[in-house]
Amino acid sequence: MSNTTKPLLNRYQTFNFGHTHPVIKGNVDVSHGTVLYMEDVSVSFDGFKALNNLSLYINDGELRCLIGPNGAGKTTLMDVITGKTKADSGSVYFGQTIDLQQLDEAAIAQAGICRKFQKPSVFEKLTVFENLELSLKADKGAWVTLFATLNGEQRDRIDEVLEIIGMTSLRFQLAGILSHGQKQWLEIGMLLMQDPQVMLVDEPVAGMTHQEIDRTAELLLSLQGKHSVVVVEHDMAFVRSIANKVTVLHEGSVLMEGTMDEVQNDPRVIQVYLGE
């Protein structure tokens, strides 16, 4: 069983440190297999340590589940990766060379790390297709009107994403009348339009029906390999259905990492979280 404390991999020990390159999307050095490094990261809010010397390593293309009690620091961890919150200490790297602490939120998103918040934020008055179209254009950096013509390649990409999120037949539906689950999938689709290398997904199945939860599991599983996905969720049945490696956070640190079975049978995890 992979035990508490430090993962074996340690960026400082293994690799040259401090060679930052200009960030070009899709040009992230994952030659060591790791796409995200967080090392000894601490964040305090008024003296309270939301993250406490946290170290976490995400492999390129993996689907990682992050669980832990309320207040464990899961959302704060995502805030640090995406640049919304600055760490007080420690390092946060995208691949070998991109120091995320040197970049602002927009640059981090541009570099290929995107985030899905809990509440879906689709444009209700636009169709499913138009929502996807808009995120494609937003990615181009300039504000292009919705009526600018799409080229063939862009249309193909929208079709491809519609297929991935299972909403091809709903392409002309107004987003405002979609079910909660469909809105969540559409928003995942909107993120996919930007072809992110890393997707951070916070509590995706809250408020969903059982069928919607199953469909979300399939969707997230289908993304691994092509994208690295970090999923935070409290729904343990859902986590089990997608889990490969699970990281348990507690009081701002990694309590343990392992398979779902290892995690669910760990006395410490039962005590601080599952036994609640």
Size of the site for ligand ATP (CB under 6 A): 10
Cβ atoms of 246 and 239 within 8 Å: the answer is yes
Q: What is the largest CA-CA distance in the chain?
A: 58
| 258 contacts ligand ATP (rule: CB under 6 A) | no
Q: Which residues contact 78 (CB under 8 A, 6 or more apart)?
A: 84, 115, 200, 202, 230, 232
In whole angstroms, the minimum distance from the beta carbon of 203 to Mg ion comes to: 7
Residue 163 CA neighbour count, 13 Å, CB half: 6
In whole angstroms, the minimum distance from the beta carbon of 146 to ligand ATP comes to: 35
Q: Which of residues 82-141 bind ligand ATP (CB under 6 A)?
A: none
DSSP 8-state symbol, 149: P
Contact string 42-81 vs ligand ATP (x = CB under 6 A): ---x----x-----------------x-xxxxxxx-----
Per-position b or e across 200-229, b if 16+ CB within 10 A of its CB: bbbbbbeebeeebbebbbebbeebeeebbb
Q: Which does 83 bind (CB under 5 to 8 A by kind): ligand ATP, Mg ion, none?
A: none
H/E run at residue 50: strand 48-59
Rounded CA gap, 111 and 113, in Å?
Answer: 6
| 253 contacts ligand ATP (rule: CB under 6 A) | no
| 205 contacts ligand ATP (rule: CB under 6 A) | no
Q: Which does 71 bind (CB under 5 to 8 A by kind): Mg ion, ligand ATP, none?
A: ligand ATP
In whole angstroms, the minimum distance from the beta carbon of 20 to Mg ion comes to: 30
In whole angstroms, the minimum distance from the beta carbon of 202 to Mg ion comes to: 6
| 272 contacts ligand ATP (rule: CB under 6 A) | no
Rounded CA gap, 54 and 46, in Å?
Answer: 18
Q: Which residue's CB is nearer to ligand ATP, number 135 or number 184?
A: 184
Which residues sit at the interface with ligand ATP, rule CB under 6 A? 45, 50, 68, 70-76
